[in-house]
Structure 1
Amino acid sequence: MRFGIAIFPTDYAIGMAELAQAVEARGFDSLWVAEHTHIPVSRQTPYPSGGDLPQEYWHTLDPFVALTVAAGATTTLKLGTGVCLVVEHEPIDLAKRVASLDHVSGGRLLFGVGGGWNREEMANHGTEFSQRWGVLRERVEAMKTIWTEDEAEYHGRHVNFDPLWLWPKPVQKPHPPIWLGGNGPNTLKRVVRYADGWMPNRGRWLDRIAELQRLADEAGRGPIPVQVYGARTDPQEVERFLAAGLQRCVFYVPPDGRDAALRRLEELTEFVKPYSG
């Protein structure tokens, strides 16, 4: 099992270049960044974890800018979006940004995607909450077409364009791996339909891995990798992840300045030593 680090890349957090170099030097395989384009002041949608919404949610850098900085400071570290809120992006533009980052990083992007939870946030981008999963699927399908075809076109309910040219194509073929976040009733069907891996971050999900692999087999797919995002430093939990055959376990470091992030990174480095290689 591999181990990764995640952060809300805020304007007051450790610099992405320094963090990326520190993560790579300590043997972690990947660095992941959260995304929120903004947070509506109304705050009508409750925070899923309960209580007040932490301020890092409206202080995050653009994930592709943050990961481009990380790419330039490292050589082997994989670079992940955790998660990109696809329903808040125009798909042709997003396809260009994903392919460009995969190009400049030499094929190191891991494209984590999700439907989002903040109704007002996505509404400001023109996506109605009840339609978000249909929007996400079509945008992902459309981007796959752009990445893999010289003359790409897509005609759906939410995305519609005639043949177009768009380069660069991603370095990774056919495209960067798509990791779908979430753990809702229909998440596994969505993973099987248009994603390359499943990335749950809360709730009871370990006992759903068998169902995921059954659905994959019924769809004529091979085993689908699973990784956990935002894991706890609980040895028993990590042992369960190992037994379940997870591909990766991702831990957060705090977004509250350089010292806090590096201190937590050192703690995590020591924690994963018994489970690494």
Structure 2
Amino acid sequence: MDFGVSTFVTDEGIRPDVLGEALEERGFDSLFLAEHSHIPVSRKSPHPRYDSLPRWYYRTLDPFVALTAAAVNTSNLVLGTGIALLVQRDVIYTAKEVASLDVVSRGRVAFGVGVGWNREETENHGIDPRTRGERIDEQIEALKAIWTQEQAEYHGKHVDFDPIFAWPKPVQTPHPPIYVGGGSPAALRRLARHGDAWLPTQQTSADEIRRVRDWLAEHGRTAVPFSVFGDGSADADAIKRFAEAGVERYTFLLPTLPEAETLTALDDLARLAADHR
């Protein structure tokens, strides 16, 4: 099992270029960054874990800018979004951003996508939250067309464009792996139909991992990697349970801290990872 880190890179914590280099030096295989374009002041949508949002939610850097910085001083680190809020994004611009990062990093992008939990954030982008599931399915199909076709076009209910030229094309073939986030029935159907890997929620148990693995096999998907997000507790027993369930990657949740404190925390996590790698 590989070990990565997921975190929120902000203007108040460790710089992404320093973080990327520190992760690779300590043997971590990946960095997954969260995305929020903004946080609505209304705060009507409940977070699945926090009654009061931590400060870092309000201050996240753009994940593609941060991951590009992390790419500069690394050579093997997987650069992931965990997750990109695809329904809030223009699909053509997103195709270019992901492909550009894949070119700059020489093929190290893992594109994690999901519908998100903050309905007001979605609404502020002019998107009806009730359409999120249909919209993201079309967006994924459109992204694949843009990345793999010289003249791409897509005609759906929510995404619609005539033939276009769009470069660069990604380094990875046929395209960067799409990691589908979420554990709802709709998300799992999306994973079976469109996904290359699964990003379960932090509440997912090892038993649920086994059930989803069996369910995917019934749908003809027998080689889908699972990349589990830890809950921040760095629980050795939980890591062991996920390893026994066949999880390919365990991703530690790293709190957003200044550089010195972050490096100390990474040293501790690296020792724990070494015991289970």
Residues 183 and 202 of structure 1 are in contact (CA less than 8 Å); yes or no, is this contact kept in structure 2?
no
Shift of 1:212: 3.1
- Give the match for residue 153 of structure 1: 153
Q: Distance in 2 between matches of 1:5 and 1:221?
A: 26
Q: Distance in 2 between matches of 1:100 and 1:204?
A: 32
Residues 31 and 78 of structure 1 are in contact (CA less than 8 Å); yes or no, is this contact kept in structure 2?
yes
| Displaced runs of 4 or more, over 4 A | none
Q: Where do residues 13-32 of structure 1 align in structure 2 (5 Å cutoff)?
A: 13-32=13-32
Residues 148 and 175 of structure 2 are in contact (CA less than 8 Å); yes or no, is this contact kept in structure 1?
yes
Query: RMSD across aligned C-alpha pairs, in angstroms?
Result: 1.4
Q: Where do residues 194-205 of structure 1 align in structure 2 (5 Å cutoff)?
A: 194-205=194-205
Corresponding letter in the other structure for 2:216: A
Q: Deviations over 1:30-79 (max 9, x none)?
A: 11111101001111112221321112111000000000001111111111
Q: Deviations over 1:128-161 (max 9, x none)?
A: 1221111111111100000011110101110000
The count of aligned residue pairs is 276
Residues 24 and 77 of structure 1 are in contact (CA less than 8 Å); yes or no, is this contact kept in structure 2?
yes
Corresponding letter in the other structure for 2:260: D
Q: Does 1:252 align with 2:253?
A: yes
- Give the match for residue 241 of structure 1: 242
Q: Distance in 2 between matches of 1:142 and 1:206?
A: 33
Q: Distance in 1 between matches of 2:164 and 2:76?
A: 33
Shift of 1:208: 3.2
Residues 107 and 171 of structure 2 are in contact (CA less than 8 Å); yes or no, is this contact kept in structure 1?
yes
Q: Distance in 2 between matches of 1:237 and 1:208?
A: 13
Of stretches 266-275 and 214-223 in structure 1, the one that deviates more from structure 2 is 214-223
Unaligned runs of 5+ in 2: none
Q: Distance in 2 between matches of 1:209 and 1:15?
A: 33
- Give the match for residue 112 of structure 1: 112
Unaligned runs of 5+ in 1: none
TM normalised by structure 1 equals 0.95
Q: Distance in 2 between matches of 1:211 and 1:272?
A: 25
TM normalised by structure 2 equals 0.95
- Give the match for residue 271 of structure 1: 272
Cα–Cα, structure 1 residues 178 and 257, in superposed 2: closer, same or farther, change >3 Å? same
Shift of 1:218: 4.0
Q: Deviations over 1:97-135 (max 9, x none)?
A: 000000100000111111100011011112212211111
